[in-house]
Structure 1
Amino acid sequence: MLERFLALEEYVYSVTSKCSNMPDMLSRIEILVLKDLVALMSPVASVITEISGENYPTCSVMIPIIHCMTAAITDFVTATEIGNEFKAKLLNRINNKFHHLESTPILAISTILDPRFKRLYFKTALAASNAIQDIDSQLRKISGYKTRKAIENDQDVNNTKSSTPNLWHFHDNLVMKNREVADVESLNLELKQYLHQPVINRSENAFKHWESLKPAFPTLSKLALQYLSIISTSVPCERLFSHAGNVKTDNRSRLTGEHLNMLLFLSSMSNEEWGLT
């Protein structure tokens, strides 16, 4: 509303001047204050809109977009004293609200695994390092589980071939321990190669990019898709409940839950998915 008023400022005065009971209009200083407030709140509105989406990753954009919002507000030069005070209070509130953002494991890991951002927006190297170590430990558990299963399968095959005790059991355990010790000395190979690659364009689809990387990073791609699928807000869920309330009205009270799920799914599909574009 304030943006619309400022856009029509020159017309509002000429129209209201013709009224017999003309209301009190804003002074020039008050107009400048409004312009400062609108400009300062514009990045905040953009962030709210961006993180409320449901057709693209939102969890991985939290750290980068908050960083960009803070930079945009900091770089804005206010024209009034009130605007300057509002800017200082707004930045202080943002810092108090989001100072722990990088130390939140889910947000940090999803940002690292987003090929558009990786470590670009981490202010502290320790937070980025902790996130990378968390990813590395999860990859080791997955790889270790696969390795143990392979050894167990080999042991089962050997045991079926011969009824004598398997003397190579000690050798298999020793190989397993040496492999685990060697892996601790450096990051997982997939993770290391992924971090060395340059970031992709921000407009590219992170999910499609990971699908193309799947042959080269089979284990890391599965982990990345799990974290990128996390939503950052409850807005999509609330939007779905509101839509369900519009579909299942009093006149359609006999609609079953199964059919309601079908209708909600069909209505959630885009025109492109329907082949209408």
Structure 2
Amino acid sequence: MVRDGGSNMKRAARVSQIIAIDCNIHQLQLCIRAALAIDECISSLLAKCKQIATHFNHSIIAQSELKGFQERLGLPLLSVIQECPTDGIFIPNDWLQLESCATILKPFEEATKTMSSSEACISSVIPLIHVLTCTLENLLRQNINNTGQTCGNIIQKLIEEITNRFGDLHNNKIYTIATYLDPKYKTKFFNEITKESIESELISLCQDQEGHGAQAQPQIQSFEHDVIQHNQHFHHTDTESLPSTSSGANFSTGRFLQSMLSEMLASAPNSDDEENPIAPIDRFLILKSLIINYIKEKRIGLQEDSLLWWKMNPKYFELYRAVRQYLSAPPSSVPSERLFSGAGLVYDELRNRLSGETASK
């Protein structure tokens, strides 16, 4: 179960004996809040921004004047907001500080959007957090073009918060097995000890299926049906939700993390085609051979569908049970929150007695 960090939600999962994980996007936002709160100047600037935003959101006259101002300047989006006597006033240095903060937080926006996608899987968390940490470390070394100690402190705090909140992911089999079973990533982000631990877990899980060989074909058919349903939705999504692999991406494109992740995956060998598959002797070696052969397969691109890959490779059907279990959970609760928001738009005061069938239409 994917849940927020509320104590009541944690207790509900514990009492119900349900395996649960935190919403990873919620955890990222907590990292950002903690980092921005360490500097009084930045906190003051953000308070001014909120004050101005609140003013324009509650004043139709202000919105109209702002729109007219944008049209006269021929700008689709105005970065400098018209001064209001009741709001805080920015000095030039304030804008530079906000611009630096926006640069620091741009990778977090990209990670948030990536994990908010309805096609996102928990398998993307470890790779994204790894790339996000590397990006912050690079920014710390550059110190955002030497703009000052404030930005360096914020970056350092972000790294600390990410380490505290996500540092134990490599010891959590829910995340590690999901990443291992995703043909986009496999073993790229694991050391040998973690890799061996994951493979032991997979073999144990597969050995539990021993004696159920007659059910293999129905499992394949059922799995393919699930994937077909997934693909029908996947291929109708906006192409903007798909990650870009362009090496020329930067912060301004909103695809920096995906570009960096693509380069990391491309730098590692995809497979070892010269080795021959191991000849299976007993049940353990059969499963071990299956896993080794899976790892030897070439990794797919970031823009490709992982579940479609599993559908097209039924020779690994003995791993289907693990795939069903570990490639099913999303990394955040955003998709379910969107569902509730959508239902709230349907069931209003004038449509509060719709049947479930009518509402779904």
Runs of 5+ consecutive residues of structure 1 not aligned to the other structure: 151-180, 264-277
Match of 1:195 among 295, 304, 322: 295
Change (3 A) 1:114 1:247: same
Deviation at residue 210 of structure 1 after TM alignment: 1.3
Match of 2:130 among 59, 64, 67: 67
How many angstroms apart in 1 are the aligned matches of 2:347 and 2:92? 51
Aligned to 2:115: 51
Deviation at residue 116 of structure 1 after TM alignment: 0.4
Change (3 A) 1:217 1:186: closer
Between 1 and 2, higher relative CO (CA 8 Å, sep ≥ 6) is seen in 2
Q: 1:229-250, CA deviations, whole angstroms, 9 ceiling, x for partnerless residues?
A: 2112111111111111211222
Aligned to 2:174: 106
Runs of 5+ consecutive residues of structure 2 not aligned to the other structure: 1-45, 50-76, 217-280
How many angstroms apart in 2 are the aligned matches of 1:68 and 1:60? 14
Letter matched to residue 199 of structure 1 = R
Aligned to 1:121: 189
- Please list, as runs of the form range in 1=range in 2, the aligned pairs for 1:1-277 lying within 5 A after superposition: 12=80, 24-28=89-93, 30-54=94-118, 56-76=119-139, 77-78=142-143, 79=146, 80-122=148-190, 124-142=191-209, 144-146=210-212, 182-184=282-284, 187-214=287-314, 216-260=315-359, 262-263=360-361
Q: Give yes or no for contact 1:63–1:107 (8 Å, CA) kept in 2.
A: yes
Change (3 A) 1:198 1:148: closer
Normalised to the residue count of structure 2, the TM-score between the two structures is 0.54
Q: Give yes or no for contact 1:139–1:188 (8 Å, CA) kept in 2.
A: no
Q: 1:96-140, CA deviations, whole angstroms, 9 ceiling, x for partnerless residues?
A: 110111211111111101000011123x43233222221121112
How many angstroms apart in 2 are the aligned matches of 1:197 and 1:106? 22
Task: Name the SS of the counterpart of 1:145 in structure 2.
Answer: coil
Deviation at residue 145 of structure 1 after TM alignment: 2.6
How many angstroms apart in 2 are the aligned matches of 1:89 and 1:108? 26
Runs of 4+ residues over 6 Å off in structure 1: none
Q: 1:3-50, CA deviations, whole angstroms, 9 ceiling, x for partnerless residues?
A: xxxx966xx49x87xx99xx854234x444333321111111111111
Letter matched to residue 257 of structure 1 = G
Deviation at residue 83 of structure 1 after TM alignment: 0.7
How many angstroms apart in 1 are the aligned matches of 2:135 and 2:310? 30
Task: Name the SS of the counterpart of 2:150 in structure 1.
Answer: helix
Larger mean Cα displacement after TM superposition, 64-73 or 184-193: 184-193
Number of equivalences: 220
How many angstroms apart in 2 are the aligned matches of 1:129 and 1:36? 42
Task: Name the SS of the counterpart of 2:211 in structure 1.
Answer: helix
Q: Give yes or no for contact 1:213–1:221 (8 Å, CA) kept in 2.
A: no
Normalised to the residue count of structure 1, the TM-score between the two structures is 0.69
Deviation at residue 75 of structure 1 after TM alignment: 0.8
Aligned to 1:163: none
Task: Name the SS of the counterpart of 1:251 in structure 2.
Answer: coil
Q: Give yes or no for contact 1:57–1:228 (8 Å, CA) kept in 2.
A: no
How many angstroms apart in 1 are the aligned matches of 2:215 and 2:96? 69
Deviation at residue 148 of structure 1 after TM alignment: 9.6
Q: Percent identity?
A: 25
Q: Give yes or no for contact 2:185–2:299 (8 Å, CA) kept in 1.
A: yes
Deviation at residue 187 of structure 1 after TM alignment: 4.5
Change (3 A) 1:211 1:222: farther
Q: Give yes or no for contact 2:122–2:175 (8 Å, CA) kept in 1.
A: yes
